[in-house]
Structure 1
């Protein structure tokens, strides 16, 4: 497959032509770009077969600042092909579903090309769909079944960890403002989309608004290899190094303080049995851990439409300081759905996200440089190790939801202290996300 950017550009060109001709192909209420296959798609869904196909494109250009201020435009793309099966309808298996998802990523990252000092380890990214290789991947292949009127749900197969734990909304293009946070700070043991791993989890809804989840997932470095497409479909467990075990308590209330509007609040912890290197001593530890808090609340409702209004979310992660480069992350986001009566499905978003680098890592970097005779930032020396502290990401965006099939999201991003290196000039980035559901 050639670059997904070409596919995205072609799709947009086709859409623009259809708009100009006022053809129903581009109508504002179209569910899928290619329609419902003369009614067959809806018929298949009624029989238990639901198919999805989508292209996501994220372009970004550096307006000012960064390590290299020569302007360029970089695009990252992702193709997603999926299917969900209602096995109650198909085979009579009550409360049982299955999922299959294949993904392909392509393109380049503006952060790697222009924003960061190439000698420093990457923290944030201006394009959240970049990463984990330009290869095809089996992202999901699982089956889930429910018991006791679906109060207990059991899931097993290949899946991403943030599908069911530390999950969060994605209303932004910036990496740390989108989705689950753990995979962005402890990516060696926690694998976000599009990486799938062998795992299983159990969710128990013990009260109407309360549930408890427990999972077990393999820690296998083979799952994040990126040399060839076969790496994305590797199903063996030959090099498993341990297991990541998350536990999460979730509360979904309708709070009277917010006019009985819905929210979701989750606290969780994980324990990994895989060995991890101690940052200070260099010795191997037999485990590591993390804690998190996810909170999302609808604050207002616009008129009688329950989906329109102001939303707020906070996500925080605290990692094992002895073994982790990023000690913690914090994310605060606000977005307003349906800001205009003429555009009830659009939204405006503003988000702030921060990486906090472990001070033990900073101290080690300083000591390494001093041992090499460097007592200040050296922009030229190849063996100089940039000193990393905190990185702050800010994004303001507008989501233009032309139809359920087509979304455009222009955005402006500000990166303070890229990769935590204060000597690198703060960066301003303009971005554009596009998603087309086929």
Structure 2
């Protein structure tokens, strides 16, 4: 509970500091909590060195429903340390940047502790920053350079796949509503933040509104080990099983239907050359697997000619290989309105819906195993019973309180229908609070 009290005290301190001056710690225009280092930080940025230090905390408590309705509060945390280098300013390398970033995650997941049946594999999570181990990780170490007036960009190094493909907005605490969807449904071959892997990609802007990207990334299960901090800094390729090759077409129009407001539309697909087990037939192995996706992000309205204020929407959908993937498809739609109040122009209100559909072949396999063990219906007490999974729907309503560029608070309410896709588990209501501080 100490995490909850710390967050509460921080909230009270923020709300009680409405009249802090620009030079004070809690001022509303303070860019970083630790300040500008007497002007040295801005000077370093002008020279090509930009530093990032941030802490994010996501607390969640179960209000009703779930597999275990005993109330508890769980908190997940993430520390991020990074530097971006403008190599044009530093070394005279035109259109070239580099980055290095490390992350540390800790804490617990309410979904694992209370919401889902512990015998089921998880689909969603009430705290998106939970996962991939409570260890330090090298999350980014890459170089990117541009050619032909920067219409061709080449990137190589250690990175997450959704840094450049199947990326989307993250305006929510719920995992299924945050960012790209592939890493949540095919996590054995598609690695998102905070995991990095060796990879490279090329993006070609062949017209003002059109870009084509292609990448090659290793499939290496060593990258997702979580036993020690050394696992988070694995740089060898001794256990590479194949490669994941994504291709994505991006269109960035200003459509008349939305009064010329900016949009971004993506369609993509991938093929993995790593061997993949069949989800239904025991001992059957496939030579690879595939997925397809569409992403759309569009500003729907604009308030008072301010491009940062108005109603925004994102739509995401993924279809996975039915032979090898337990999650057959995902669908997500989200809305957020930024600057609803004139005196809070940087705050936003968000509402999102995300649905995960379990592959019927995987479900048939679960039924077959239960029948072979003598179960013909859900047994809440049997340790070797495998809950049959179907769909899971996640809904979140939140308010993002942007005190300053340095501090954000996001209280939220979440609703989970059929946690982990198990219809026998009661629908759950969850209250959450995200806090982010930039130092």
TM-score (norm 1): 0.97
Gap change, CA 1:207 and 1:263, over 3 Å in 2 = same
Structure 1 residue aligned with 2:293: 292
Q: Distance in 1 between matches of 2:166 and 2:38?
A: 39
Structure 2 residue aligned with 1:319: 320
Structure 2 residue aligned with 1:242: 242
| SS across alignment from 1:19 | coil
Q: Distance in 2 between matches of 1:11 and 1:240?
A: 47
Q: Distance in 1 between matches of 2:123 and 2:380?
A: 19
Structure 1, unaligned stretches of length 5 or more? none
**Offset from partner CA, 1:308-341 (integer Å, 9 cap, x none):** 0001110000000000000010000011010110
Q: Distance in 1 between matches of 2:8 and 2:94?
A: 43
**Offset from partner CA, 1:66-89 (integer Å, 9 cap, x none):** 000000000000000010000000
The count of aligned residue pairs is: 436
| SS across alignment from 2:205 | strand
Q: Is the 8 A contact 1:5 1:76 kept in 2?
A: no
**Offset from partner CA, 1:82-118 (integer Å, 9 cap, x none):** 1000000000000000011100000000000000000
**Offset from partner CA, 1:281-313 (integer Å, 9 cap, x none):** 231111000000000110000012111000111
- Matching of residues 162-201 of structure 1 within 5 Å: 162-201=162-201
Q: Is the 8 A contact 1:154 1:200 kept in 2?
A: yes
| SS across alignment from 2:344 | coil
Q: Is the 8 A contact 2:166 2:182 kept in 1?
A: yes
Structure 2 residue aligned with 1:251: 251
Structure 2 residue aligned with 1:432: 433
Q: Is the 8 A contact 1:4 1:57 kept in 2?
A: no
Structure 2, unaligned stretches of length 5 or more? none
Q: Distance in 2 between matches of 1:14 and 1:153?
A: 46
Structure 1 residue aligned with 2:152: 152
Q: Distance in 2 between matches of 1:17 and 1:181?
A: 35
Structure 2 residue aligned with 1:41: 41
Q: Distance in 2 between matches of 1:28 and 1:374?
A: 60
TM-score (norm 2): 0.97
User: Cα RMSD between the aligned structures?
Assistant: 1.8
Q: Distance in 2 between matches of 1:12 and 1:84?
A: 29
Aligned structure 1 segments of 4 or more residues deviating by more than 6 angstroms: none
Superposition deviation, residue 279 in structure 1: 1.6
Gap change, CA 1:100 and 1:4, over 3 Å in 2 = farther
**Offset from partner CA, 1:181-223 (integer Å, 9 cap, x none):** 0000000000000000000000000000000000000000000
Q: Is the 8 A contact 2:165 2:246 kept in 1?
A: yes
| SS across alignment from 2:141 | strand
Structure 1 residue aligned with 2:262: 262
Structure 1 residue aligned with 2:363: 362
Superposition deviation, residue 388 in structure 1: 0.2
Q: Distance in 1 between matches of 2:374 and 2:315?
A: 42
Greater shift in the superposed pair: 186-195 or 18-27: 18-27
Q: Distance in 2 between matches of 1:397 and 1:9?
A: 17
Q: Distance in 1 between matches of 2:14 and 2:28?
A: 13
- Matching of residues 400-419 of structure 1 within 5 Å: 400-419=401-420
Gap change, CA 1:199 and 1:6, over 3 Å in 2 = farther
